[in-house]
Amino acid sequence: VTEGRRGRTEADGDGRADALIVRHAGGSYPVLVEAGVLGRLDEVVREHLGAGAVVVLSDETVADLHGAGLPWPVLRFPPGEASKTREEWARLSDRLLELGLGRDGGVVALGGGVTGDLAGFVAATYLRGIPYLQVPTTLLAMIDASVGGKTGVDTPHGKNLVGAFHPPAAVAIDPRALATLPERDFRSGLAEAVKHGLVADAGYLDWLEASAPAILAREEATLARLIRRSVELKAAVVGADERERGLRAVLNAGHTVGHALEHVSAYALTHGEAVALGLVAETALAERLGVAEPGTHERTRALLAALGLPVTLAQPLPSDALLAAMATDKKNRAADIRFALPAGVGRMDPADGRYTRPAPPAAIRAALDLLHPA
Ligand SMILES: NC(=O)c1ccc[n+]([C@@H]2O[C@H](COP(=O)([O-])OP(=O)(O)OC[C@H]3O[C@@H](n4cnc5c(N)ncnc54)[C@H](O)[C@@H]3O)[C@@H](O)[C@H]2O)c1
Ligand SMILES: [Zn+2]
């Protein structure tokens, strides 16, 4: 599903590693994970967006930190989820029209997941679709949003409800960009890496355990390895289930409880913090139901804690409200709250090919109780 071309390694002369190849229904695109690639974006743009005009879309924070000196116009918008709207999509699209960007042009999405989703959606719809280069600068955007081709904006009815499938022409990831990421955003991104190990690769989980200090110290080579392995694992799962028939649901591990925690905390928890707590509760649930091998929960909990992620709630949240939020999540029918549960570290419960199974409310409550310290 994803492969690195053979013959070159990260140790080769110029320090450039081979691109990972992400395959999707309409083709494939390369993901470069390369320290310093931000310093040679002009080459990457010429290679993957062609010779036409280029415009960079970036939030103000990232534009100031990492967009200085780029040889293209930079359209800026305020940082944060509040910019992921149809209004901002319209404003940016109009600015591209004013600049006269043509069909042979391209967009560079420089920033976190908000920028990737928003700029990707602008590219998906501008003149019925032009190519874009994704340059993710948060850990979450590097290891999650870089695979799957989903773009879009939020609406008052909920997040990500208007959008398009528009895979990038290429993704360029510079692990050095993470040096400026605030600590809370950095740690939040690590929750998805733990999820990747839990659902797909016990060896990766071992490595995360052994590498926790180097990860938290943001050692460049360690971060590059983490990003590469997580991208490979997500691409393998998505590529094996392009039609979203089943397997892809394993990527929802920790997310049934996680989405409810985000919602009920009124987004006081970041997505990654909520997913960490969700993984704590859902691995306990899996053991309680006899689905997961004993010890799965404790290893997951200990690794999340070692990576500086929350494993208990600082502010209690009522289980009734959490259960109600899970029952109204778009992926669940009422009274049938489904979970993607592990069978053990590195393997998921196939649950008759659906990769999710319902759980009785009493078992869910008992798992949620673990999030409230005695
Ligand atoms: N398309 C997908 O598959 C996918 C997957 C996961 C998440 N998402 C979306 O991504 C969004 C969340 O992503 P996010 O957490 O990256 O949010 P974000 O883009 O808002 O970035 C978080 C904050 O970090 C700042 N920032 C970004 N890079 C920085 C850097 N290198 N140094 C300093 N500051 C930096 C930003 O300005 C912002 O304030 C959500 O909207 C979510 O829906 C999409
Ligand atoms: Zn997630």
The DSSP-derived string for 7-38 is: T--TTSTT-PPPPEEEEETTEEEEEEE-TTGG
Alpha carbons 88 and 23: distance in angstroms, whole number: 30
Alpha carbons 345 and 292: distance in angstroms, whole number: 9
Residue 189 has pLDDT above 60, yes or no: yes
Global pTM reads 0.95
Alpha carbons 1 and 237: distance in angstroms, whole number: 8
Q: Looking at ligand 1, which residue's alpha carbon is closest to its atom 3?
A: 145
Closest CA to 145 of 128, 160, 127: 160
Q: What is the mean pLDDT of residues 289-308?
A: 98
Instruction: Say what the pLDDT of residue 237 is.
Output: 95
The DSSP bridge pattern shows strands 170-173 and 27-33 to be parallel
Instruction: Say what the pLDDT of residue 2 is.
Output: 38
Percent of residues, the chain, with pLDDT higher than 90 = 88
- The question of whether 6 is a catalytic residue gets the answer no
Q: What is the pLDDT of residues 118-176, one digit of tens each?
A: 999 999 999 999 999 999 999 999 999 999 999 999 999 999 999 999 999 999 999 99
Q: What is the mean pLDDT of residues 249-257?
A: 97
- The question of whether 229 is a catalytic residue gets the answer no
Question: 243: helix, coil or strand?
Answer: coil
Q: CB of 164 closer than 6 A to ligand 1?
A: no
Residue 4 has pLDDT above 60, yes or no: no
> Tokens at residue 111, please?
């920033």
Please classify residue 12 by burial: count the beta carbons closer than 10 Å to its beta carbon, then call 0-12 exposed, 13-18 middle and 19+ buried.
exposed
77, 85, 117: residue to mutate for ligand 1 pocket, most atoms within 8 A of CB: 117
Instruction: Say what the pLDDT of residue 102 is.
Output: 97
- The question of whether 255 is a catalytic residue gets the answer yes
Strands (E), the chain: 20-24, 27-33, 54-59, 74-77, 106-111, 132-136, 150-155, 158-165, 170-173, 338-339, 342-344, 347-348, 357-358
Residue 5 has pLDDT above 60, yes or no: no
Residue 272 has pLDDT above 50, yes or no: yes
79, 131 contact by CB (below 8 A): no
Alpha carbons 172 and 137: distance in angstroms, whole number: 10
Q: CB of 135 closer than 6 A to ligand 1?
A: no
**What spacing in Å lies between the alpha carbon of 357 and ligand 1's midpoint?**
30
- The question of whether 330 is a catalytic residue gets the answer no
Taking the alpha carbons at both ends of the chain, their separation in whole angstroms is 45
Atom of ligand 1 nearest to the CA of 147: 3
Residue 31 has pLDDT above 80, yes or no: yes
Q: What is the mean pLDDT of residues 235-240?
A: 93
**What spacing in Å lies between the alpha carbon of 251 and ligand 2's midpoint?**
8
Instruction: Say what the pLDDT of residue 10 is.
Output: 45
Residue 335 has pLDDT above 90, yes or no: no
- The question of whether 192 is a catalytic residue gets the answer yes
Atom of ligand 1 nearest to the CA of 272: 15
Q: CB of 163 closer than 6 A to ligand 1?
A: no
137, 196, 267: residue to mutate for ligand 1 pocket, most atoms within 8 A of CB: 137
Instruction: Find the catalytic residue in 66, 195, 248, 338.
Output: 248
Q: CB of 109 closer than 6 A to ligand 1?
A: no
49, 133 contact by CB (below 8 A): yes
